[in-house]
Structure 1
């Protein structure tokens, strides 16, 4: 006597596999994904909106420049009473660093401000890998020849979340203490 099993619909067809979702660390920002590079095409394959390691480094450089050149309202938010507001986009950027504010600050204070802003708003970086340090005067002078003399130069080093292994990077920046503008002067693999 043969056993008859009730067949499930579609049992003879190969099972459809769920498409592999691109790692969120490898995806461009929402703004980059919303920008349509091919408006004449109706759909895009997932591999078309993932990024290479070089592209990710460029995107992080651009986004760090946006972050570091935006003034937050950190000095007006009580982090203890309003931690969600302090970590929200309403507080995107770094506290004001120009003028008399910076005169009373030490390098450690500036480092903490930059580190906190990056930690709060740049999730593609591995937080424990972040190192912010002042650059030597000779390096800074070579980069800012002919510019304001009231410039603080620093480096941001760390690891970008990437598969199969993190991507090292180093960003060289300069802070103009007169205008509070932070300029990314270079970025490369660490």
Structure 2
């Protein structure tokens, strides 16, 4: 069966868990579109999910990639490798950027991979020991057209924790 030429990609819905959460349990019924967030709601959901992704340690060091190549891209390997205890000089920005990009492209389908940019931010503040500021920028799937997604982040290598800053995002 041939697909129509004018087929367009649908906007991504929130996760099943997000749709099943009841924000107003006292109400007996909800509007049919109650589970579908507006564009700001979807940005908040994507930001929350990115925070979970970047703060989860994956199993890269424990999986034998030659024996189990499919495991690398599966939910078993969700997150980024542990970087705590390493120094920013030991793991240069390019390798950290690749790890973050790989995790986002594998596990966050609402961000368009070709539009994804991850870059370090040179802060005017005094250098923070083992902390790296960076920005994640790209386009978020939305209907009828993609929306800009931009967020600043602080990666604390010692604590292996990423903090995403909502206040710094530029409005689309």
TM-score (norm 1): 0.76
Alignment partners' CA distance in 1, 2:20 and 2:66: 35
**What does the per-residue CA deviation read over 1:116-168, in whole Å, with 9 as the maximum and x for residues that have no partner?**
00011101010100010000122xx38x9xxx532111111000000011010
More displaced, 116-125 or 178-187? 178-187
Gaps of 5+ in 1: 1-22
What does residue range 7-156 of structure 1 map to in structure 2 within 5 Å? 23=10, 25=12, 27-41=13-27, 44-100=30-86, 102-138=88-124, 141=125, 149-156=129-136
| Other-structure match for 2:3 | none
> Does the 8 Å contact 1:150/1:176 carry over to 2?
yes
Question: Greater share of helix residues, 1 or 2?
Answer: 1
SS at match of 1:171: strand
Alignment partners' CA distance in 2, 1:110 and 1:61: 19
Equivalent residues, number: 161
| Other-structure match for 2:163 | 183
Question: Which of 160, 168, 171 is the matching residue for 2:148?
Answer: 168
The structure with more radius of gyration: 1
State the Cα distance separating 1:77 from its structure 2 match: 2.0
State the Cα distance separating 1:188 from its structure 2 match: 3.7
Over aligned residues, Cα RMSD in angstroms? 2.2
State the Cα distance separating 1:40 from its structure 2 match: 4.6
TM-score (norm 2): 0.83
**What does the per-residue CA deviation read over 1:25-50, in whole Å, with 9 as the maximum and x for residues that have no partner?**
1x212221121223355654431111
